Amino acid sequence: MIFRLSAAVLAGRIASWLCRVRGFRGSSMPGLVARKADPDSLRKLAAQVRKGTIVVSGTNGKTTTANMITGVLGDAGYKVVSNREGANMIGGVTSSFVMSSGIDGKIDCDYAVIEIDEASMPGVLKEITPGVVVLTNFFRDQLDRYWELDKVIGVIRDSLREQKNVVMVLNADDPLVAQFGKTTGLPAFFYGLAGTEHSRKTSTQMREARFCPFCGADLNYDFYHYGQLGTYNCLKCSFERPKPRVEALDAGVNGEANECRLFFDRREVSLSIQVQGLYNLYNALAAFSACLQLGIDVKTILKSLNNYQPVTGRMEKFSYKEKNVYLSLVKNPIGFSEVLAALCAAKGSKDVLIAVNDNDADGKDISWLWDVDFEMLASDHRPIRKLICSGVRGEEMALRLKYAGVPVEKIVVNRDLKVAVKNALNGSAGGAYLFSTYTALWNVHKIVKQLADKEDADAQHLSSVS
């Protein structure tokens, strides 16, 4: 048995090396190869985690939340296994353990923090035993690749009902998530965000959670943050927003930082994260709550979250020609609308790149772009100099912007991705925002990093010469 696991780990590591030699990321291949050599490899490796496994799932925010938790645990002195790059199906999850294992099939770690794709939850949970499960939110996401949302929620619920000794960390503001506190029979720990000056009485983004998940009656909302996230109650039965154990008040933006006051367990602290967007504040709340449940020192949690740096494509920040450049993955209407909101809230003029592909990993159906609130970009008061559309479906993206009311003189189509990125970075605006679907993301990231690194190298060379 030990020999078979060792052979699986070795095969997976060789597969990873071959992928990288050929210029591929290979984030899932090591796990897929290891599972061929030993179908029980994930179960055997995950069973070696000493203190516990934390699982993070939901539509948006999985990667950021999981990486925030990983950072906190690392800063607290623990050894952690995680799938930091966001390869969140069973092959990618297995890869994270394979690449952290010795050739003998042994892993030296205290915690595992695993992001899991919603549709992969049932399969992965049959092979690992979590102590904490974090659910962020549920929105429509690539319907040509995933099931209808009700089915996704159902299969996750059923898989969780089979778990024992699990504590769930749930977003109280999303009724589709909050219902898990009752429907699974597992103990639940809620987090949420109180109303802000930007909360709305109506939501143009809302597509889900109009009806009570228990009796089907209309849900009454006092206000919305975005999508169906807000404060709600059923007009017929007792279902309502649960009282959060961790709640953020007075959320606001100070420069490029998200700040709020946190109330929990009769305590108050200040939370600040150096990442834009209200959705990232939700991610930080989820991470704070999970780490609080694990018993991590509060000061350590707050300091780690304040120092958090985004990974690839999660409002990742670069510097180029003395301007700030932000790169963000976009994959569904709510998520895209929220990064646009962060763009519009940021000070200064901007050039914007939107790269849209329709490959299998992106979803062939791009009709979801018509549900994104691009209309917010049409205002004359928005200091957006240029909107550059690229990728396989760049022309369709340009058409969507035109119908949103964006002046056509601001819209440019560059099919060549490298040309498009250069145009965005070398534009006349004071900053640049780059938005990309999955299969264009790593190419955009590579181009930006090469340009930024070259600029740094040139600057160092000039400095040494002078």
Return all residues near 96 (Cβ < 8 A) that are at least 6 apart. 31, 81, 82, 83, 84, 87, 112, 114
Cα Rg of the chain, angstroms = 22
Q: Which of 144, 150, 365, 416 is catalytic?
A: 365
Q: Are 330 and 340 in contact (CB under 8 A)?
A: no
CA–CA dist 316, 276 (Å, integer): 10
Cβ proximity of 59 and 136 under 8 Å: yes
Strand 111-115, strand 246-254: pairing: unpaired
> Using CA atoms, how far apart are residues 1 and 213, in angstroms rounded to an integer?
46
Please name which of 30, 24, 39, 26 lies closest in space to residue 11, comparing C-alpha atoms: 30
How far apart are alpha carbons 364 and 264 in whole angstroms?
Answer: 44
Closest alpha carbon to 215 in 237, 231, 232, 233: 237
Residue owning tokens 């990093």? 449
Each residue of 129-147: b (16+ CB within 10 Å) or e? bbbbbbbbbbbbbbeeebe
Element (H, E) at 252: strand 246-254
| Phi, psi for 376 (deg, rounded to 5) | -65, -20
Rounded to whole angstroms, the Cα distance separating 189 from 243 reads 10
Tell me how crowded residue 237 is: count the other CB atoms within 10 A of its CB: 12
Q: How many helices (H) and strands (E) does the chain have?
A: 15, 17
Angle between helices 62-75 and 298-306 (to 10 degrees): 120
The answer to whether residue 365 is catalytic is yes
Strands of 384-390's sheet in order across: 314-320, 323-329, 431-436, 350-355, 384-390, 411-413
Catalytic annotation, residues: 365
